[in-house]
């Protein structure tokens, strides 16, 4: 439960708090204060564990949540429709008015308040790297029949002006559609950027290292990331990544950049949007679909060097975490702990 009078979280985790009746009854300042207090308190446990205890069992990310589907998917939900006249419910068309060099974008769910708080407290707050302007934005869909959260999202954006929300259904199956709408929005309102960095909200990301090391040179029509080759569709219905033959009959995907973290040159964004109208079906795997677009549009796929970008949580070492650009599968609590250690 939540004691709103004392701004304490009592025996409740972040997800339970965000979905509690008390959460909706508070103003934004109270919601943020309680969430920050909870996240920093829990992150201190991870912080102490990483520095002084068994470093292999410190992180709180639950990997099982990312492997198994909560229920078997319907095949009719696996194919996206584009083009389609989707609109913005929340917009910030002046986000790039100061001509940033890089836009960092994170796909996020409307109820992922803890993730947004943790991101703003860490790498999402970086605004300059070696003289290059950087901005961060959240891109999201819409939860149907959740007017209370709609109001809270608007309040949050009124304070931070960093949310773009489209009137498309918020669902795992719609990630590719969200990506296309995101690229279209960015190409329209941020046409002068050199790079768009797409980072999942469960990433440990070090913009200073990433940008200063890899993104200071000019590139054109390129996708940069961990390039996956020889990947095959999973035919197991219980998997979160199930893809039946009726939707994708092929036995192997085209090479693609892993979707958890990919950098796209600014001039490639419009090409991606235009090419997406020519490819059918539009798969719900946004990274696999990006590989299909790269092949069709002849975009260059570039790999980061080793020990730079990781698919999975990495064993902790302060030196390696300072040098790496990004690693995947960290909870908001993990992210805060790592950020405090690396930036001591």
The number of domains in the chain is 1
In a domain, 309, yes or no: yes
Query: What pLDDT digit, counting tens, does each position of 185-197 carry?
Result: 999 999 999 999 9
Domain extent for 266: 70-330
In a domain, 162, yes or no: yes
Find the mean pLDDT for residues 198-204.
95
From 32-46, 58-72, 140-154, 166-180, the region with the lowest mean pLDDT: 58-72
**Is pTM, for the whole model, over 0.85?**
yes
User: What is the percent of the chain where pLDDT is above 90?
Assistant: 71
Query: What pLDDT digit, counting tens, does each position of 209-232 carry?
Result: 999 999 999 999 999 999 999 999
Evaluate if residue 130 carries a pLDDT over 60: yes
In a domain, 209, yes or no: yes
In a domain, 12, yes or no: no
CA angle 237/238/242 to nearest 5° reads 50
Q: The dihedral of CA 47, 51, 53, 58: what is its sign?
A: positive
In a domain, 282, yes or no: yes
Give the pLDDT of residue 67. 63
Q: Assign 65 a pLDDT band (cuts: 50, 70, 90).
A: low
Give the pLDDT of residue 64. 61
Q: Assign 319 a pLDDT band (cuts: 50, 70, 90).
A: confident
On average, the pLDDT of the chain sits at 91
Q: Assign 101 a pLDDT band (cuts: 50, 70, 90).
A: very high
Q: Assign 7 a pLDDT band (cuts: 50, 70, 90).
A: very low
In a domain, 211, yes or no: yes
In a domain, 252, yes or no: yes
Find the mean pLDDT for residues 54-78.
74
Find the mean pLDDT for residues 257-286.
93
Full 3-state SS string of the chain: CEECCCCEECCCCHHHHHCCHHHHHCCHHHHHHHHHHHHHHHHHHHHHHHHHCCHHHCCCCCHHHHCECCCCCCHHHCEECCCCCCCEEECCCCCCCCCCCEEEEEECCCCCHHHHHHHHHCHHHCCEECCEEEEEEEEEEECCCCHHHHHHHHHHHHHHCCEEEEEEECCHHHHHHHHHHHHHHHHHHCCCCCEEEEECCCEEECHHHHHHHHCCCCCCCEEEEEEECCCCCECCCCECCECCCCCCCCCCCCCEEEEEEEEEECCHHHHHHHHHCCCCCEECCHHHHHHHHHHHHCCEEEECCCCCEECCCCCCCHHHHHHCCEEECCCHHHHHHHHHHHCC
Evaluate if residue 60 carries a pLDDT over 80: yes
- CATH number of the domain residue 108 falls in: 3.90.550.10
From 64-78, 132-146, 150-164, 260-274, the region with the lowest mean pLDDT: 64-78
Evaluate if residue 1 carries a pLDDT over 50: no
Give the pLDDT of residue 66. 60
Q: Assign 10 a pLDDT band (cuts: 50, 70, 90).
A: very low
Q: Assign 264 a pLDDT band (cuts: 50, 70, 90).
A: very high
In a domain, 3, yes or no: no
């Amino acid at each position: 439960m939540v004691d709103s009078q004392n701004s304490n979280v009592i025996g409740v985790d972040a997800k339970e708090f965000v979905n509690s009746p008390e959460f909706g009854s508070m103003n934004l300042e109270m919601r943020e204060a309680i969430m920050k207090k909870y996240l920093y308190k829990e992150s201190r446990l991870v912080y102490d564990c990483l520095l002084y205890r068994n470093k292999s069992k410190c992180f709180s990310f639950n990997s099982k949540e990312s492997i198994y589907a909560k229920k078997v998917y319907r095949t009719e939900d696996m194919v996206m429709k584009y083009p389609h006249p989707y609109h913005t419910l929340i917009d910030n068309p002046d986000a790039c008015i100061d001509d940033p060099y890089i836009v960092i974008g994170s796909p996020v769910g409307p109820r992922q308040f803890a993730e947004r708080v943790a991101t703003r407290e860490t790498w999402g707050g970086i605004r300059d790297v070696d003289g290059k302007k950087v901005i961060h934005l959240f891109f999201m869909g819409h939860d149907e029949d959740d007017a209370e959260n709609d109001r809270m999202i608007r309040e949050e954006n009124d304070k931070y002006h960093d949310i773009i929300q489209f009137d498309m259904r918020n669902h795992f199956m719609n990630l590719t559609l969200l990506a296309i709408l995101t690229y279209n929005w960015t190409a329209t309102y941020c046409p002068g950027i050199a790079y768009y960095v797409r980072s999942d909200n469960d990433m440990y990301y070090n913009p200073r290292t990433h940008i200063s090391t890899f993104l200071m040179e000019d590139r054109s029509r390129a996708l940069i990331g961990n390039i996956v080759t020889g990947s095959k569709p999973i035919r197991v219905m219980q998997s979160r990544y199930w893809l039946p033959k009726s939707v994708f009959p092929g036995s192997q995907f085209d090479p693609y950049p892993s979707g958890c973290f990919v950098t796209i040159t600014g001039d490639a964004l419009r090409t991606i949007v235009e090419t997406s109208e020519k490819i059918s079906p539009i798969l719900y795997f946004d990274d696999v679909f990006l590989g299909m677009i790269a092949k069709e549009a002849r975009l260059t796929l570039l790999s980061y060097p080793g020990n730079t970008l990781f698919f999975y949580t990495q064993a902790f070492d302060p030196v390696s975490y300072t040098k790496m650009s990004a690693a995947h599968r960290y909870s908001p609590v993990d992210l805060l702990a790592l950020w405090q250690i690396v930036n001591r």
